[in-house]
């Protein structure tokens, strides 16, 4: 079976249509162009590869979280146990491609000062990926268990997004950098007694005082000197987010800010948003224009392998379709990586820039009831985007699976290859109840990918939920596991040095501590006309909220509207979104839709709500789907209904 579509090759007569379609969606090509001037990768996407997947070893599971529950009978080495349902994160590979870093949660340790008491809480470990073991007989070792207090002052939790530096001696984990005193993390010289955990500090006040700015979603730039990150904002009761880029500088003796301990500081920070630049929408009198070429960085997701592009989730090109984009770090040139109407945001680009691995809902149809109908401009997204991104989860259950894409990304019938689409042994690596969670990671030689999964557990199954709870096949019936996918036909690529980039991002704005945070521009309330790029038009009414801090309602009527040759959209849509109470994240959405489209041949699609409309209450942090009424998309007689309500 081919996982990127029914046809391996497009007939030559379709070449012009495919190129026109890609042009209409402003897709930027990244692969070699033949002498004819035609990008041959459009016609000949890569064949599916052979993939072998195994589960990586982890510490044994404690029977409970009670003190002392992890006994020597469970772990004879006395090196700790992890909780059955305790969170973990895989990180990336060390330079030898035989180890990965990971954050795990230890449980059941004895009281201090008994042996083994250090194996408690969230810690950073290194895991062997080649089937071998460390000298003590474990396939893993803890780097931070037992680091003296004086060497971890000011540090915070290590759980989020562990990323080893290229030197193999340091790891970014949460808002900290773990340093093994110059020793490679996997070597016998790397022991807790010589390691440090340094906090990361971002100055956000004029005089440098205070605890610093709140940072999240941290990603190391491949030059290992800079870091990208995101930060939430709250303006007029509206939650927002900006992405930033800065240089990491070690300061052993800070004299301002808290904590005043040896720390890494973010210097020469750039906000990756310019209010004076082209925005996703612009207004000229009564004409509203959609600008798909606008550089609109939402949440930063990482960098290309060579570091020349910033990878991010950006403003939608199509309604309800959340995609990943890349922007050149010097020029700001934008290309779209994903186009499938499933939701994607976790991504890692291979060190040689030729491949991406994404985590996406495209194998589950989770978001298709909203997004399956293509070619709808992102107008209602001005108020509905929070809801459309929040439906990707069902509480703590995600619907991600890992997908392999070449450098050009989605196009035509090529939608990549699901890595775990086949069962490769007695363990079912493609069990849909095991859901990928966050960032997958490439090995430095481009032959392996690590990712982690969580099993569906209560309340997402069992009890009042009609979905029965599956049995875990992992050791100790763990609900988390780390997987290693090997692309068996690949030959290792040589890791090339990465050039250090400038502190200056020309298309961003230098961050000045203490300056007010900007508010993203949105078109003001009023009546507008949007003209299709091919033909037709849409009447659009925008209504602002009572506080004047954003839009509340978008109503659209389409009149033979077309953005792509042969695809014509008619009908209407009306969406209102309001915050509930004082919450920044809980929204109530009232949705009315009656849209139809026709396309080449017998292609047809519709997006329709029930007579009383579709009414959704959802919190973007809790992501629990609760709806009344229905919203249904139908494409060529294939019906996509909404998920069951969260119970």
Query: Which of 185, 219, 253 lies at the terminal end of a domain, its last residue?
Result: 219
Q: Which SS3 state, helix, strand or coil, does residue 20 take?
A: helix
**What pLDDT does 161 receive?**
94
Cis peptide upstream of residue 113 (ω within 30 degrees of 0): yes
- pLDDT greater than 60 at residue 55: yes
Contact 257, 211 (CB under 8 A): yes
Query: Which of 219, 254, 273 lies at the terminal end of a domain, its last residue?
Result: 219
- Rounded Cα distance between 253 and 565, Å, is 63
- Rounded Cα distance between 55 and 49, Å, is 19
Closest by CA position to 555, among listed 536, 571, 577, 572 = 572
Q: Each residue of 343-399: pLDDT tens digit?
A: 999 999 999 999 999 999 999 899 999 999 999 999 999 999 989 999 999 888 999
For 143-206, the DSSP string reads SSTT--GGGSTT-----S--EE-TTSSEEEETTEEEE-TTS-TTSTT--GGG-EEEEEE---ST
- pLDDT greater than 60 at residue 4: no
Average pLDDT over every residue of 302-323: 96
Closest by CA position to 535, among listed 502, 501, 491, 570 = 570
- Domain span at 628: 526-640
| 289-296: long-range contacts, CB 8 A cutoff, minimum separation 24 | 289/530, 290/377, 290/378, 290/379, 290/530, 292/25, 292/26, 292/317, 293/26, 293/334, 294/334, 295/327, 295/332, 295/334, 295/507
Contact 316, 378 (CB under 8 A): yes
Does 539 reside within a domain?
yes
- Under the banding of pLDDT at 50, 70 and 90, the label for residue 191 is very high
Q: For the chain, give me the number of helices (H) and strands (E)? A: 3, 40
Q: How long is the chain? A: 647
Does 258 reside within a domain?
no
Pairing between strand 196-201 and 263-271?
parallel
Does 209 reside within a domain?
yes
The residues, ordered by sequence, that sit 6+ positions from 147 with a Cβ below 8 Å of its Cβ are 192, 193, 195, 196, 197
- pLDDT greater than 60 at residue 80: yes
Q: Each residue of 383-425: pLDDT tens digit?
A: 999 899 999 998 889 999 999 999 999 998 899 999 998 755 4
- Rounded Cα distance between 389 and 522, Å, is 19
- Rounded Cα distance between 335 and 407, Å, is 11
- Rounded Cα distance between 351 and 444, Å, is 6
The residue assigned the tokens 């870091």 is 227
Query: Which of 219, 237, 258 lies at the terminal end of a domain, its last residue?
Result: 219
- Rounded Cα distance between 408 and 354, Å, is 8
- Rounded Cα distance between 491 and 484, Å, is 17
Contact 262, 255 (CB under 8 A): no
Q: What angle do CA 226, 353, 280 make, to 5 degrees?
A: 70
**What pLDDT does 339 receive?**
95
Q: Retrieve residue 11's tokens.
A: 């007939």
- Rounded Cα distance between 396 and 390, Å, is 12
Contact 141, 151 (CB under 8 A): no
Q: Cα separations (Å) of 480 from 362, 434, 457?
A: 22, 9, 10
How does DSSP classify residue 645?
Answer: P
The residues, ordered by sequence, that sit 6+ positions from 622 with a Cβ below 8 Å of its Cβ are 395, 585
Handedness of CA 369, 373, 374, 377 (dihedral sign): negative
Domain total in the chain: 2
Does 151 reside within a domain?
yes
For 565-608, the DSSP string reads TTEEEEEEEEEEEEE-TT-SSEEEEEEEEEEEEE-STT-EEEEE
Q: Retrieve residue 155's tokens.
A: 């540090």
| Greatest C-alpha distance within the chain | 76
- Under the banding of pLDDT at 50, 70 and 90, the label for residue 646 is confident
Tell the burial category of 425 from Cβ atoms under 10 Å away from its Cβ (0-12, 13-18, 19+). Answer: exposed
Contact 537, 561 (CB under 8 A): yes
Mean pLDDT of the chain: 90
- Under the banding of pLDDT at 50, 70 and 90, the label for residue 10 is very low
The residues, ordered by sequence, that sit 6+ positions from 285 with a Cβ below 8 Å of its Cβ are none
- pLDDT greater than 80 at residue 502: yes
The residues, ordered by sequence, that sit 6+ positions from 376 with a Cβ below 8 Å of its Cβ are 318, 319, 320, 569, 573, 595, 597, 607
Does 86 reside within a domain?
yes
Does 262 reside within a domain?
no
Residue 339: half-sphere exposure toward Cβ, Cα within 13 Å: 21
Q: Each residue of 13-22: pLDDT tens digit?
A: 333 333 333 3
Does 48 reside within a domain?
no
Q: Cα separations (Å) of 498 from 187, 339, 349?
A: 25, 29, 14
For 600-638, the DSSP string reads STT-EEEEEE-TT-EEEEEETTT---EEES-EEEEETTE
Residue 461: half-sphere exposure toward Cβ, Cα within 13 Å: 12
Cis peptide upstream of residue 249 (ω within 30 degrees of 0): no
The residues, ordered by sequence, that sit 6+ positions from 594 with a Cβ below 8 Å of its Cβ are 571, 572, 573, 608, 609
Q: Each residue of 103-131: pLDDT tens digit?
A: 999 999 999 999 999 999 999 999 999 99
Average pLDDT over every residue of 631-646: 94
Q: Retrieve residue 585's tokens.
A: 């994240």
Does 83 reside within a domain?
yes
Q: Each residue of 203-247: pLDDT tens digit?
A: 999 999 999 999 999 999 999 999 999 999 987 777 889 999 999
């Amino acid at each position: 079976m081919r996982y990127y579509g029914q046809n391996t090759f497009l007939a030559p007569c379709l070449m012009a249509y495919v190129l026109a379609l890609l042009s209409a969606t402003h897709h930027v090509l990244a692969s070699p162009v033949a002498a004819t001037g035609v990008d041959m990768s459009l016609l000949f996407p890569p064949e599916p590869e052979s993939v072998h997947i195994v589960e990586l070893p982890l510490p044994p599971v404690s029977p409970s979280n009670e003190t002392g529950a992890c006994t020597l009978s469970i772990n004879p080495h006395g090196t700790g146990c992890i909780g059955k349902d305790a969170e973990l994160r895989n990180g990336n590979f060390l330079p030898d491609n035989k180890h990965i870093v990971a954050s795990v949660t230890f449980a059941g340790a004895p009281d201090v000062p008994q042996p083994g008491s250090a194996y408690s809480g969230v810690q950073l470990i290194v895991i062997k990926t080649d089937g071998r073991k460390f000298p003590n007989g474990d396939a893993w070792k803890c780097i931070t268990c037992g680091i003296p207090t004086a060497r971890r002052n000011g540090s915070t939790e290590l759980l989020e997004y562990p990323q080893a530096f290229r030197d193999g001696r340091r790891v970014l984990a949460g808002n900290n950098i773990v340093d093994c005193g110059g020793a490679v993390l996997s070597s016998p010289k790397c022991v807790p007694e010589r390691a440090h955990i340094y906090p990361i500090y971002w100055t956000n006040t004029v005089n440098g005082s205070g605890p610093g700015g709140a940072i999240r979603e941290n990603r190391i730039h491949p030059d290992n000197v800079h870091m990208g990150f995101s930060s939430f904002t709250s303006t007029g009761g509206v939650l927002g987010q900006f992405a930033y880029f800065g240089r990491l500088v070690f300061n052993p003796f800070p004299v301002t800010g808290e904590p005043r301990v040896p720390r890494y500081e973010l210097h020469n920070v750039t906000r990756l948003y310019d209010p004076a630049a082209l925005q996703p929408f612009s207004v000229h009198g009564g004409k509203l224009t959609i600008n798909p070429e606008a550089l609109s960085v939402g949440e930063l997701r990482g960098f290309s392998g060579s570091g020349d592009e910033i990878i991010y989730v950006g403003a939608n090109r199509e309604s309800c379709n959340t995609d990943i984009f890349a922007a050149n770090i010097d020029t700001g040139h934008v290309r779209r990586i994903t186009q499938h109407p499933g939701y994607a945001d976790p991504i890692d680009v291979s060190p040689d820039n030729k491949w991406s691995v994404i985590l996406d809902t495209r194998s589950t149809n989770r978001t298709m009831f909203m997004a399956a109908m293509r070619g709808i401009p992102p107008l209602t997204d001005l108020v509905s985007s929070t809801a459309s991104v929040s439906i990707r989860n069902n509480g703590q259950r995600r619907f991600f699976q890992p997908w392999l894409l070449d450098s050009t990304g989605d196009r035509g019938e090529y939608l990549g290859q699901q890595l775990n689409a086949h069962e490769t042994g007695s363990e079912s690596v493609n069990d849909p109840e095991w859901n990928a969670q966050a960032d997958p990671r490439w090995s430095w030689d481009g032959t392996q990918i690590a990712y982690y999964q969580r099993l569906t557990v209560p309340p997402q199954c069992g009890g009042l939920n009609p979905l029965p709870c599956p049995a875990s096949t992992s050791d100790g019936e763990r609900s988390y596991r780390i997987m290693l996918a090997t692309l068996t036909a690949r030959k290792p690529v040589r890791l090339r040095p990465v050039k250090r980039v400038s502190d200056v991002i020309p298309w961003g704005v230098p961050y000045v501590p203490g300056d007010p945070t900007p508010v993203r521009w949105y078109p003001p309330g009023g009546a507008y006309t949007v003209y299709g790029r091919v033909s037709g038009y849409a009447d659009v009414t925008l209504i602002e909220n009572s506080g004047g801090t954003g839009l509340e309602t978008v109503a659209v009527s389409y009149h033979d509207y077309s953005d792509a040759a042969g695809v014509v959209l008619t009908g209407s849509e009306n969406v209102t979104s309001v915050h509930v109470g004082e919450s920044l994240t809980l929204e109530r959405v009232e949705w009315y839709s009656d849209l139809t489209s026709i396309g080449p041949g017998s292609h047809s699609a519709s997006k329709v709500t029930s007579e009383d409309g579709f009414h959704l209450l959802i919190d973007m942090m809790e992501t629990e789907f609760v709806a009344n009424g229905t919203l249904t998309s139908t494409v060529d007689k294939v019906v996509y209904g909404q998920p069951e309500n969260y119970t």
